Structure 1
Protein backbone atom coordinates (compact mmCIF):
# COMPACT_ATOMS: atom_id res chain seq x y z
CA UNK A 1 0.00 0.00 0.00
CA UNK A 2 1.53 3.36 -0.99
CA UNK A 3 2.17 5.87 1.73
CA UNK A 4 2.48 9.58 1.23
CA UNK A 5 4.63 11.77 3.39
CA UNK A 6 4.05 15.50 3.63
CA UNK A 7 6.54 18.20 4.35
CA UNK A 8 5.53 20.46 7.27
CA UNK A 9 5.51 23.44 4.90
CA UNK A 10 2.88 21.78 2.72
CA UNK A 11 0.49 21.33 5.63
CA UNK A 12 0.64 24.97 6.73
CA UNK A 13 -2.35 27.17 5.99
CA UNK A 14 -1.38 29.32 3.01
CA UNK A 15 -4.69 31.12 2.54
CA UNK A 16 -4.67 34.91 2.71
CA UNK A 17 -5.09 36.31 6.22
CA UNK A 18 -4.49 32.88 7.79
CA UNK A 19 -2.28 34.26 10.57
CA UNK A 20 -5.00 36.71 11.61
CA UNK A 21 -7.62 33.97 11.45
CA UNK A 22 -5.55 31.70 13.71
CA UNK A 23 -4.88 34.46 16.24
CA UNK A 24 -8.56 35.41 16.33
CA UNK A 25 -9.60 31.78 16.89
CA UNK A 26 -7.06 31.39 19.68
CA UNK A 27 -8.14 34.65 21.32
CA UNK A 28 -11.84 33.75 21.34
CA UNK A 29 -11.30 30.15 22.41
CA UNK A 30 -9.57 31.39 25.57
CA UNK A 31 -12.56 33.43 26.79
CA UNK A 32 -15.07 32.40 29.45
CA UNK A 33 -17.87 33.11 27.00
CA UNK A 34 -16.62 30.30 24.75
CA UNK A 35 -15.31 27.92 27.43
CA UNK A 36 -17.85 28.10 30.25
CA UNK A 37 -21.01 29.39 28.59
CA UNK A 38 -20.50 27.25 25.47
CA UNK A 39 -21.44 30.04 23.07
CA UNK A 40 -20.17 30.18 19.52
CA UNK A 41 -17.31 32.58 18.75
CA UNK A 42 -19.68 34.70 16.68
CA UNK A 43 -22.16 34.98 19.57
CA UNK A 44 -19.37 36.00 21.93
CA UNK A 45 -18.12 38.75 19.63
CA UNK A 46 -21.53 40.11 18.64
CA UNK A 47 -22.94 40.15 22.17
CA UNK A 48 -19.99 42.21 23.49
CA UNK A 49 -19.58 39.71 26.30
CA UNK A 50 -17.44 41.12 29.15
CA UNK A 51 -15.05 38.15 29.06
CA UNK A 52 -14.01 38.94 25.47
CA UNK A 53 -10.97 41.24 25.63
CA UNK A 54 -10.49 44.29 23.45
CA UNK A 55 -7.67 42.46 21.66
CA UNK A 56 -10.18 39.98 20.17
CA UNK A 57 -12.33 42.81 18.83
CA UNK A 58 -9.25 44.45 17.33
CA UNK A 59 -8.20 41.16 15.72
CA UNK A 60 -11.70 40.81 14.28
CA UNK A 61 -11.47 44.28 12.73
CA UNK A 62 -8.00 43.56 11.34
CA UNK A 63 -9.21 40.25 9.90
CA UNK A 64 -12.13 42.06 8.25
CA UNK A 65 -9.79 44.65 6.71
CA UNK A 66 -7.45 41.93 5.48
CA UNK A 67 -10.29 40.03 3.81
CA UNK A 68 -11.63 43.26 2.30
CA UNK A 69 -8.22 44.12 0.87
CA UNK A 70 -8.34 40.88 -1.14
CA UNK A 71 -11.33 42.22 -3.09
CA UNK A 72 -10.15 45.84 -3.33
CA UNK A 73 -8.49 46.37 -6.71
CA UNK A 74 -6.35 49.24 -5.43
CA UNK A 75 -4.96 47.00 -2.69
CA UNK A 76 -4.36 44.21 -5.17
CA UNK A 77 -1.83 46.42 -6.99
CA UNK A 78 -0.25 47.79 -3.82
CA UNK A 79 -0.27 44.47 -2.03
CA UNK A 80 -1.99 43.42 1.17
CA UNK A 81 -0.74 44.82 4.43
CA UNK A 82 1.42 42.27 6.13
CA UNK A 83 0.12 41.04 9.46
CA UNK A 84 3.50 41.62 11.07
CA UNK A 85 3.21 45.29 10.10
CA UNK A 86 -0.15 45.55 11.88
CA UNK A 87 0.96 44.07 15.19
CA UNK A 88 2.96 46.28 17.53
CA UNK A 89 6.61 45.42 17.92
CA UNK A 90 7.68 44.50 21.45
Structure 2
Protein backbone atom coordinates (compact mmCIF):
# COMPACT_ATOMS: atom_id res chain seq x y z
CA UNK A 1 0.00 0.00 0.00
CA UNK A 2 1.30 3.43 -0.79
CA UNK A 3 1.83 6.00 1.93
CA UNK A 4 -1.22 8.04 0.93
CA UNK A 5 -3.60 5.60 2.66
CA UNK A 6 -1.52 4.84 5.76
CA UNK A 7 -3.08 7.65 7.80
CA UNK A 8 -6.58 6.39 7.08
CA UNK A 9 -5.56 2.84 7.89
CA UNK A 10 -4.16 3.96 11.24
CA UNK A 11 -7.36 5.86 12.10
CA UNK A 12 -9.51 2.89 11.10
CA UNK A 13 -7.41 0.50 13.19
CA UNK A 14 -7.61 2.84 16.19
CA UNK A 15 -11.38 3.09 15.80
CA UNK A 16 -11.71 -0.71 15.65
CA UNK A 17 -9.58 -1.05 18.80
CA UNK A 18 -11.95 1.31 20.64
CA UNK A 19 -15.14 -0.56 19.74
CA UNK A 20 -17.21 -2.63 22.13
CA UNK A 21 -16.25 -5.71 20.14
CA UNK A 22 -12.58 -5.39 21.11
CA UNK A 23 -12.94 -3.95 24.61
CA UNK A 24 -15.88 -5.85 26.08
CA UNK A 25 -16.19 -9.04 24.06
CA UNK A 26 -12.42 -9.48 23.56
CA UNK A 27 -12.78 -10.65 19.95
CA UNK A 28 -10.08 -10.76 17.32
CA UNK A 29 -9.48 -7.68 15.14
CA UNK A 30 -10.49 -9.57 12.01
CA UNK A 31 -13.81 -10.58 13.58
CA UNK A 32 -14.51 -7.02 14.70
CA UNK A 33 -13.75 -5.64 11.24
CA UNK A 34 -16.23 -8.11 9.75
CA UNK A 35 -19.00 -6.79 12.01
CA UNK A 36 -18.77 -3.29 10.42
CA UNK A 37 -19.12 -1.17 13.55
CA UNK A 38 -21.27 1.89 12.76
CA UNK A 39 -18.89 4.26 14.54
CA UNK A 40 -16.03 3.18 12.23
CA UNK A 41 -18.02 3.11 9.00
CA UNK A 42 -16.76 6.54 7.87
CA UNK A 43 -13.12 5.45 8.21
CA UNK A 44 -13.84 2.16 6.45
CA UNK A 45 -15.47 3.95 3.52
CA UNK A 46 -12.67 6.53 3.27
CA UNK A 47 -10.05 3.77 3.29
CA UNK A 48 -11.96 1.94 0.56
CA UNK A 49 -12.09 5.10 -1.56
CA UNK A 50 -8.37 5.70 -1.04
CA UNK A 51 -7.46 2.17 -2.09
CA UNK A 52 -9.82 2.40 -5.04
CA UNK A 53 -8.15 5.65 -6.07
CA UNK A 54 -4.83 3.84 -6.28
CA UNK A 55 -6.23 1.69 -9.08
CA UNK A 56 -7.37 4.67 -11.14
CA UNK A 57 -4.70 5.64 -13.66
CA UNK A 58 -5.20 9.38 -13.14
CA UNK A 59 -4.89 9.23 -9.37
CA UNK A 60 -1.90 6.92 -9.58
CA UNK A 61 -0.02 9.70 -11.35
CA UNK A 62 -1.54 12.68 -9.52
CA UNK A 63 -1.95 11.01 -6.14
CA UNK A 64 -5.02 10.67 -3.96
CA UNK A 65 -6.59 13.97 -2.98
CA UNK A 66 -6.88 15.09 0.61
CA UNK A 67 -5.13 12.25 2.40
* Normalised-by-shorter TM-score class: 0.7 to 0.9
Larger Rg over CA atoms: 1
The alpha carbon displacement at 1:78 in A equals 4.1
* Correspondence for 1:40: 28
Instruction: Provide the aligned length of Structure 1 versus Structure 2.
Output: 66
Query: How far apart are the structure 1 equivalents of 2:28 and 2:41?
Result: 15
Question: After the TM superposition, which parts of structure 1 deviate over 4 Å for at least 4 consecutive aligned residues?
Answer: none
> Which structure has greater helix proportion?
2
Give unmatched runs, 5+ long, in structure 1: 1-13, 84-90
Unaligned ranges ≥5, structure 2: none
Q: What is the TM-score when the length of structure 2 is the normalising length?
A: 0.75
Of structures 1 and 2, the one scoring higher in RCO (CA 8 A, sep 6+) is 2
